[in-house]
Amino acid sequence: MNFQNFAYEPSEHEAEKASNSYLMSLIAIIAGLPLPIINLLATLIFYIGNRKSTYFVRWHCTQALLSQISLLFVNSTGFWWTVSILFTDETVSGNYIAYIITAFVINVVEFIVTISAAIKTRKGIHVEWWLLGDLTNIICRR
């Protein structure tokens, strides 16, 4: 995670909206744990609602959205694997438990990083995550 100077000093209103984009994905994590698509949808709706907003807000909405897209793959795999255990002949195996623990660790890391990003952006500090920050810089144009 990098704390960098943004292209301009964001206003109080912008900082609040940017912070909300991360909080949106956190609320969605709690509400949508069994259904991973909910996280993505909530963040996507927030992103679409703010796509004509200022650069700072759009940038952080995009970073939050990208983090949810990457989590979607991890959580969907775990979700459908669990469904197949409950409703098909698939059984609980060491690989399955290892995957669920891995997915849990990834989710916890993402959760902590997201909370941190929400607090920092609320203070108007620009936070760029490793990999996702670079990707956001490519996607989100001023």
Partner 1 sequence: MQKILFQVFVIVSLCFALWFALSKVDWVSLFKLDQVADTTEKAMGTIFWDLYSKSALEITSEAAIRPLDSIVTKICISNGIDKRQITLHLIKSDEINAFALPNRHLVINTGLIATSDHEAELCGVIGHEIAHMELNHVMKKLIKEVGLSALISMTTGGGAEQIKEIARMLSSSAYDRNLEKEADIKAVEYLKNANINPAFFADFLYRLGESEPTNSQYFSWISTHPDSKERAAYIIASIGQQNTNFSPVLSTDAWDQLKGFATN
Task: Show the site string, 33-72: x = touches partner 1 by CB under 8 A, - = not.
Answer: ----------------------------------------
Give yes or no for residue 9 binding partner 1 (CB under 8 A): no
**62-87 exposure pattern, b = at least 16 Cβ within 10 A, e = fewer:** bbbbbbbeebbebbeebbebbeeeee
Q: How far is the CB of 11 from partner 1 (least distance, A)?
A: 30
Q: Which of 51, 93, 108, 115 binds partner 1 (CB under 8 A)?
A: 93
Phi, psi of 102 (to 5 degrees): -60, -50
Q: How far is the CB of 58 from partner 1 (least distance, A)?
A: 19
CA atoms within 13 A on the CB side of 79: 13
The Cα-based distances of 21 to 18, 62, 64, 65, 79 in angstroms read: 5, 9, 6, 8, 24
Q: How far is the CB of 75 from partner 1 (least distance, A)?
A: 13
Element (H, E) at 127: strand 126-128
Between 72 and 135, CB nearer to partner 1: 135
What residue ranges bind partner 1 (CB under 8 A)?
A: 74, 86-89, 91-95, 97-99, 101-102, 105-106, 130-131, 134-135, 138
